[in-house]
Structure 1
Amino acid sequence: MGVASIETLVDLKVRRTWQLDPKRVSFEDTKWSDGLAVLTTQIAKRLGCAGVDLDVHLYKFLLYEPGGHFAKHRDTEKHHRMFATLVVQLPSIHKGGELSVFKQDVESVYDFGQRTGQASHACHCAVHYADAEHAVKPIFEGYRLVLIYSICWPTTAQEVHQF
C-alpha cells in the first residue's frame, strides 16, 4: 500500500506569509526559555488559571513581507489540550500587520508597539483563545517576524468534559 502525499493548499487571498517549521528554530540563550516561563505564568493569571503550569509549544515561525496578511479565521487544535494561542512578535521594522481579535462583534486591535515606536527593538505579544476569530492586517512596508505558540493545559490536568 502506498502513502499518499499531503499538501497544504494556499489561497493567497486568505493567507500570505512565509513559515518555517518549528523543528528548524532553536534558542540557545537560556534567557529566552526563562522569559517564556515568566510570560506563561502571567498568561495563566490573566486567563484565570493562576497556579496552573501551562504547556507552551512553538507552532510556527512566520515572516510577513509587504502584502502579507491572514484573513479572519479561527485556530484549530495544533497540540493536544490546546486552548489558546500566544503570538510573540520579534523586533522588526514594519508598518501594518496589526492583529485583530473579535469577540461578540467587538474588535480588539494589537499593533505590537508600532504606535509607540517600540516594534523595532522589543518583543511584543498577544494572547487569544484558539476559538476566537482573528486576522492579521496587511503589511505595507518592511518585514514582520512572529513566533506562534500553542498554549495547552498540562498533561496532569483533569480532563474537561462538555455536555
Structure 2
Amino acid sequence: MKPVVEVLQRHATPSPFSRGEETVMDPTYRHGTEFKADELTFSLQEDMKFKYEKFVRHVQDELQTSMFIGKIVSLKLYKLAVYGEGGHFDWHRDSTHSDAHHGMVLIALNTKWEGGELMLRHQGIETIVNIHPKKSGDEIRPVVVAFSTDTEHKVMPVTKGTRLVLQYDVKVVEQSPAADGMHSPSYIPLKRAVHRHQHIAVSHINIYPNLDQKLVQAVVDKIRELHKKGTFVVAFPLTHLYRKASIKKEYLKGTDLALFDALKNHFNVALHPVLIRAIEDRNVWGY
C-alpha cells in the first residue's frame, strides 16, 4: 500500500534530539518531522491486520535467531520518521527508553525518494544500508534493518521525494523461553545458535560483525598467560554500551554474550559499570 505523503507532511511535528541532557531543535544537525506511536493508528481490515501481526512476529523470530540468541524479544512501534527533501540527521545514538531496550528496527514504507542513505557506525567501522523496499514480482517486500541501541547512525540528506520510516524498539522480555507460547519447553539456546548459523547461510540476511571463535579462544589463552605471569585480575571493556541497570548477563549482546559464556567456563567472571566520558563534535555523552 502507498501512504498518502501529503497528509502525513501536513500533520507531522518537527523532530527534536538530545544534546547532553537537553532536548533541542537544530535543523543543521537534524531536519525532519515525526509522529509518535500514540499519534498513529492502523486502519486495517482483518486480513491485513493478521498479515501485519504475522509480519511483526516474523521479525521478532528473526531477531531471536540472529541478534538475541537465547532471549525472548518484543517489538514495539515507537514512531514514524518523515524526511522530505533536504531532510537529514547527523551521527547520533538514540536514547534508550527502558533498561530492557537493547535494539531498534527500521522499516521504510513504500514511497519514492532519492538520497537519504542510512549509515551505521560501530567501533569506528561504517557501513551504508539500502532500506528501500524491494520489488519481487508483483509484491513489494520491506527491508528490515536491526541494530543495537549503542550503534551510531546517520541519515544522509534526502535529495528527492519523501522518506517514511517506521521505528520500533526491541526489548528483551524477562521471562523464560518455555513460558512463552511461541516456543516449546525443549527450547535450548545452543539449538537456536545452530539454527541461526544454518538459517543465515541460506537466507538473505546480512549480519555484521560476525563472531570469530578463534578470537574468543585467543582471549582465553591470553588471560591464562597473564595469570601465569602473576596478573590475577584482568579487565577489558565490553563491545556494546549499556545502562547501569542493564549490566547483567541476561542483557549482554552479541560478542559480549559470547565472551561471557566462553570465559565463565574457565574463570571467575564479573561485570562492573565503568564511566566513560566521550566528546564528539557538538555532542557530549556520558556512559
| Residue among 12, 35, 40 paired with 1:20 | 35
Aligned-residue RMSD, C-alpha? 2.2
**Partner residue of 1:64?**
83
1:92 matched residue in structure 2: 111
Is residue 52 of structure 2 the alignment partner of residue 37 of structure 1? Answer: no
> Gaps spanning 5+ residues in structure 1: where?
1-6
Instruction: Kindly state the Cα deviation for residue 98 of structure 1 after the two structures are TM-superposed.
Output: 1.1
4+ residue segments displaced more than 2 Å:
159-162
Q: Percent identity?
A: 23
CA 1:13–1:39: 2 relative to 1, 3 Å:
same
Specify which structure has the higher proportion of helix.
2
Q: Please name the residue that 1:81 is paired with.
A: 100
Query: 1:69-119 CA distances to partner (integer Å, 9 max, x unpaired)?
Result: 1110112112441011101111110001111111222211111138x778x
Equivalenced residues, count? 152
Which structure 2 segments of 5+ residues have no match? 1-21, 177-245, 249-270, 273-287
Q: Secondary structure at the match of 2:27?
A: coil
Aligned letter for 2:157?
Answer: P
Checking the alignment, whether the CA contact within 8 Å between 1:91 and 1:122 is kept in structure 2 is no
Higher relative contact order (CA 8 A, sep 6+): 1
* In structure 2, distance between residues paired with 1:155 and 1:61: 27
**1:8, CA displacement in angstroms?**
4.6
| 2:25 alignment partner, one of 4, 7, 10 | 10
Q: Structure 1 length as normaliser, TM-score?
A: 0.83
Contact 1:97 / 1:111 at 8 angstroms: preserved in 2? no
Match of 1:4 in 2: none
1:132 paired to 2:151:
yes
